[in-house]
Chain A
């Protein structure tokens, strides 16, 4: 696609429920990132996929968070047993990979509200 697509754009859930957030990167982009942004705060790195390499999961805040990516396409971020502190905008971004600047293109984000 022309840009990074994220769904849902808004999700309201009850504490304790599981949620799945989807990211469809730009076609051909080998690198894909997930970030979390709480209200008025900066971007908190969660996970990074680069081609067929093992993902960098160093930013996942707890074992309730997991993410998968099928090849160089869609990625899903799953949050199990959601807590109120999980409320945030979850941003996905991708870039081409390889040499060069590799500027990240961001999606519009998925706003998660945990009641």
Chain B
């Protein structure tokens, strides 16, 4: 079974509007971390936001917020006030923590392409 599912093949949003990028995950571990990365056409991987499974509040970083719904196992990224520079590929990722507290590998979804229209 896929650990991280990103099913939206491509998203379009008008500049200055908000957009939600979907991510669902699958784990039986109680402790895990969820990440979103941005990859523009230049190819670099840019960290956007992190949510720990025990965090009580949804994570926010500037225009980025993470809509964390633990029971539904979803971790959607919300980008407010979209900018042309937000056009990129967006990846959701999960790290499951072992019973010893050590980290395990970070697993990525297949990504979503976001295009911002002027």
Report which A residues bind B (CB closer than 8 A).
31, 33, 35, 41-43, 45, 48, 50, 53, 56, 58-59, 89, 91, 93, 97, 99, 101-106, 108-109
Interface residues on B, range: 20 to 34
CA distance A48 to B102 in the complex (A): 13
CA distance A97 to B105 in the complex (A): 11
CA distance A104 to B48 in the complex (A): 11
Q: Are the C-beta atoms of B47 and A42 separated by less than 8 Å?
A: no
CA distance A105 to B37 in the complex (A): 10
12 A-B residue pairings within 8 Å (CB atoms): A31-B103, A42-B109, A45-B106, A48-B105, A56-B105, A58-B105, A97-B103, A102-B33, A104-B35, A104-B106, A106-B44, A106-B45
Q: Does B30 touch A at the CB level, under 8 Å?
A: no
Report which B residues bind A (CB closer than 8 A).
33, 35, 43-45, 47, 50, 52, 91, 93, 95, 101-111
Q: Are the C-beta atoms of A91 and B91 separated by less than 8 Å?
A: no
CA distance A97 to B95 in the complex (A): 12
CA distance A109 to B107 in the complex (A): 18
